[in-house]
Structure 1
Amino acid sequence: MSQPNVALSEAAAKRIATLIERQGNPRLKLRLSVDGGGCSGFQYKFGFDETVQPDDTVVERNGVTMVVDAVSLPLLEGAEVDFVETLGAASFQVNNPNAQSSCGCGTSFSI
């Protein structure tokens, strides 16, 4: 496991804790990865996982854990995962300094 250079905002940590509590499994961790595809070339993928792989980067905040795989990490270097609630929607957003452009939905980006 390496030192994290990916951050988790206070709002994201609170939302992850709520979602884990609803699942009833305190061993869950948020897994963030980057896949090829989407309308801009790459897309963020969020999911829950109980395991931490040996090459994962582990980010902890307020008792919750986010893991990022070694392949995705270079594309997320310096990024922050936030949770944003607006009048019409609520979602996780990745504020990624490496993304040169992103699509309107905010889940797809290019470098």
Structure 2
Amino acid sequence: MITSDVTLSPAAAGRILSIGAREGRPMMLRVAVEGGGCSGFQYQMDLVDEAGPDDLRVERDGATALVDVISLALLKGSEIDFVDELAGAEFRVRNPNAKSSCGCGVSFSI
């Protein structure tokens, strides 16, 4: 199932595809929200090569991110992006539902 509630930026799609090319097999980025972190919720991101039965697919340019049904409510309207800055390179969630976030950008509150 493909969902439009969450989008994948061109940079994130490109990075997922390049990781898959380097690994020699297609890879997908799984994005989930868990309780914890200094602001209440935190993002969990993993690279996987198989989707789970309840995963929703977010696709762009041949790349796929996966979001579980429970996390989707907290990620509605979000963009999964990839940034490469002086401080480091990482996947990042731009979440319009987050009222505040910690300094590292990994945890947030609603």
Fold similarity call, TM over 0.5: yes
Match of 2:23 in 1: 23
For the aligned residue pairs, the C-alpha RMSD in angstroms reads: 1.3
Q: Equivalent residue of 1:35, what SS?
A: strand
Displacement of 1:59 in angstroms is 0.8
Q: In the TM superposition, what are the counterparts of 1:21-100 in structure 2 within 5 Å?
A: 21-26=21-26, 28-100=27-99
TM-score by length of 2: 0.92
Q: Equivalent residue of 1:71, what SS?
A: helix
Please tell me the residue identity of whatever aligns with 2:105: G
Change in Cα spacing, 1:2 to 1:21, as seen in structure 2 (3 Å) is closer
> Could you tell me the percent identity over the aligned residues?
55
Please tell me the residue identity of whatever aligns with 1:98: N
Please tell me the residue identity of whatever aligns with 2:7: A
What is the aligned residue count?
Answer: 110
For the 8 Å contact 1:39–1:108, the answer to whether it is kept is: yes
Q: Which runs of 4+ in 1 moved over 6 A?
A: none
Q: Comparing both structures, which one devotes a greater share of its residues to strand?
A: 2
For the 8 Å contact 1:58–1:68, the answer to whether it is kept is: yes
For the 8 Å contact 1:81–1:94, the answer to whether it is kept is: yes
Unaligned runs of 5+ in 1: none
Unaligned runs of 5+ in 2: none
